[in-house]
Amino acid sequence: LSATMHKRLDEDTSPVVRAWSLRMAMESNRGERNGAELIQLIEKAAEDKSPVVQLAVASALAQVDLKYRWKALTSLAGHDGVAEDHNLPLMIWYGIEPLVDSDLTRFVDLARAAEIPLDRNHIARRVASYPQAKVGHTKLGLEGLTKLLVENSDEAFQLDLNCYHFRFRHHI
């Protein structure tokens, strides 16, 4: 499809058309999945409020290099109402999980931005189970989670993150 046609489809009022536009862009750029234009398209689509488009973005991110996922995942995880969706929380998590090895501090910051309890909980569990989470530089992951617990007074948010405490209390 031409750039003009993609632009028209991306601005369509139907979320199904916008989602298919992203899918077609991914298919037509098989060899260039990390190109600047495609990454910008994914990041723009991640801001869409439609769960249909959000699911297309989460699916597309599995095919994108890790270093290009951060902005789109932060946007997806920060949407209100995603937690009630049947598929989105785990699809977003599948995009987030591999990022722990690339930047642990930024990984923990995703928990701050996330509006999805399941993803906050999984982030905390992943940091707590990270092999070097207790030693050296990567100790920052646990410190970051602890700081989030102290900074945020929302009880539900604290419960989502507090799962890591039980792992270390019983396994250290």
Closest to 63 measured CA to CA, from 88, 90, 29, 36: 29
Per-residue confidence band for 126, with pLDDT thresholds at 50, 70 and 90: confident
Mean pLDDT of the chain: 80
Kindly report, residue by residue over 4-61, the tens digit of the pLDDT.
777 788 888 999 999 999 998 888 876 576 678 888 889 999 999 999 999 999 999 9
Cβ neighbours for 62, distance < 8 A, ≥ 6 positions apart: 94, 95
pTM: 0.78
